[in-house]
Structure 1
Amino acid sequence: MNIKISTLFLIMVVLINYGFTAIRIQDDYNPITSDDSDFKSIKNIDDYLYWECIYNPSIFSSSRSEQQIIAQLGDIKYSKYVKKTFSSVGFFSACGPGFCSYYIVAVKKDKSIKVINTPNDFRKFIGKIDNVEEAKLIVRNAGYIFSIAPKYMASYKQSADKYIFKLHDFGLQSCLPPVQTEPKSITIAVDEMASISRL
């Protein structure tokens, strides 16, 4: 008798999970996360001979040796032009104690050096959205977080010329003490011109 009850219980659990899965599939949204590997999918090279994206672990870093190149694109021979260029501030800026951030150093066609270290400059640098990785970077650039916690996992779908993301709003980046409230589920769209809007 106990075996039959256990079997029925397992069948019910499987059917319920299948039902939830079916709903998610019909919704056309796919689970998604974002990390620094997304930078490697930036396609912007038309205006540059070479660029590299650098992670700065702290505003107190005193040299490039304390920072890390996480992505690069273009002719590597031009890397020598930028190896001494340094910035202590950048986009995706996080809170203390390190106040980490990212910035990009690029060699333009005329071989002049350009530093991209503000959210607005980074959005312009990406330009037209070519893939979902660039769209995710635009979302992060606006201060939103792609949580890796299963409860708050983000999802997305592509619709016409937009990438639409469902994620949780933990509050825009701030160095104020966090308010202990449940994050709100929000929907964000990124169009092909890198404009972002809440739906």
Structure 2
Amino acid sequence: MLSAKNTENGVLLKKIIPNKNVKYWQVEHFPNYKTEDLDFEILFSKGNTENISIPKNEFNLNGFFSGCHPSLCAYRITYLEKDQWKIIQSEKELKTFIDKIDNVYEAYLIGKINEYDIDQNSEKGNGFVKQKDGYKLKMMKYNNCPESKESFTLSINNNGNIENTKSNGFYFKTTDCIIY
């Protein structure tokens, strides 16, 4: 099983290959701070911007993969399809946008949508094998009280569905509680 390098949300989102008639798309991150000049940051954009006007989205707290305690940050995707602007603000919408699984990054995003995470520091929670009909991933679930990490093997098919899930047991466990 191979380990995936740099599997942060922003990196994974940049690797999406939209399977729709998308002329332009951008990954946006709204950080846990807001200034007069910064509502959100555009982390990545792709497509033809000739003769199009990109709308300025309103600052709101609707997005996916939110976090950044004690405040809030999240991601969203704005895209142009068939001359209509659309915004992805939920994990369900993100799964629809990904559609067919084109690469391991999209497979990992499906795992994250289903509340699994990637452990950048351990192969017990980070690994993949390309299969004929999708990917077999090693991911983990983190609990903060008591703090623990449980390893899982997921089989994700080319349609983005999890076909099989197997717990590999806990590989990190303490009696501590991490309170945000």
Deviations 1:8-55 (A, max 9, x none): xxxxxxxxxxxxxxxxxxxxx111241222222211163222111101
1:44 maps to which residue? 18
More strand by share: 2
1:94 aligns with 2:67: yes
Deviations 1:103-154 (A, max 9, x none): 0111121x22111101100000011011111111222222222112247551
Tell whether the 8 Å contact from 1:52 to 1:71 is kept in structure 2 after alignment.
yes
2:85 maps to which residue? 113
Superposed, 1:1-199 pairs within 5 Å as 29-33=1-5, 34-35=7-8, 36-44=10-18, 46-58=20-32, 61=34, 65-77=38-50, 80-82=53-55, 84-86=56-58, 87-94=60-67, 96-109=69-82, 111-150=83-122, 152-171=124-143, 178-197=144-163, 198-199=165-166
From the CA coordinates, give the structure whose radius of gyration is larger: 1
C-alpha displacement of 1:96: 2.8
Structure 1: how far apart are the matches of 2:103 and 2:159? 12
After the TM superposition, list the runs of 4 or more consecutive aligned residues in structure 1 that deviate by more than 6 angstroms.
none
For these two proteins, the number of residue pairs brought into alignment is 162
For structure 2, the residue ranges without an aligned partner over 5 or more in a row are 167-180
RMSD, matched Cα: 2.3
1:23 maps to which residue? none
Q: Percent identity?
A: 23
Normalising by the residue count of structure 2, what TM-score does the alignment of the two structures yield?
0.78
Counterpart residue identity of residue 39, structure 2: E
Tell whether the 8 Å contact from 1:45 to 1:73 is kept in structure 2 after alignment.
no
For structure 1, the residue ranges without an aligned partner over 5 or more in a row are 1-28, 172-177
Structure 2: how far apart are the matches of 1:79 and 1:154? 40
Structure 1: how far apart are the matches of 2:69 and 2:52? 31
* SS of residue matched to 2:67: coil
